[in-house]
Amino acid sequence: MVHPRPLSLLVLLILWPLCSASMAQDDLTISKLTHIDLQYMQQQRDSLNALTARNFGGQLNGSKDKDLALLQRLLDENIVSGNQTSELQAMGIVMGDLLASELSLDWVVYEDRYGRTRALRYKSTDSYLFPVTMISRRREVDDRTPVADIYRRARDTLRAAIPALPFQ
């Protein structure tokens, strides 16, 4: 026998994301990155490049396999730990750059009633990724998911959301 309370809770859990998505859509603003955003993101990339150069003698170069491996080494060798939010988010920016390059995404400012964040957007669609915090949110709670797996999941999730081109 199904008890009414668990059933109503289940219905609430299923419907809540749909309701909150429509409410959030009303408060959503998408805009171009500001000069300050661009400057901040470049400083984050530069600081991460300095860290990899200092520790490994090499820099990030936009090569997916090499850069993901360097990001993983920073974590594995505890050069960047779970309490270094700025460095973890810099890693997210670098990973985001790789995703943007592979999937033809653009960095945008995504602002809703919960705040303002930098996101990746596919063309003029409502398909977004939030790579800046993909690594930091996990590491801050000691989730050891490999960077390459985080990248793959984000890529595959967005690919599934991209509408198919006509006549394919």
Identify the three-state secondary structure at position 106. Answer: strand
> With contact defined as beta carbons under 8 Å apart, do 13 and 19 qualify?
no
Is residue 1 exposed (0-12), middle (13-18) or buried (19+ Cβ within 10 Å)?
exposed
The residue-averaged pLDDT of 38-44 equals 98
Q: Which domains does the chain have, with CATH numbers?
A: 28-158 (1.20.120.1090)
Kindly tell me if the per-residue pLDDT of 1 is higher than 70: no
pTM: 0.81
Exposure pattern of 142-161 as b/e (b: 16+ CB <10 Å)?
eeeeebeebbeebbeebeee
Q: What is the pLDDT of residues 103-147, one digit of tens each?
A: 999 999 999 999 999 999 999 899 999 999 999 999 999 999 999
Q: What is the rounded CA–CA span in Å between residue 113 and residue 132?
A: 19
Local confidence band at 30 (pLDDT 50, 70, 90 cut-offs): very high
pLDDT at 168: 58
Q: What is the rounded CA–CA span in Å between residue 2 and residue 85?
A: 44
pLDDT at 2: 47
> Cα 109 to chain center, whole Å?
13
Query: CA-CA distances (angstroms) from residue 93 to 3, 44, 97?
Result: 47, 8, 6
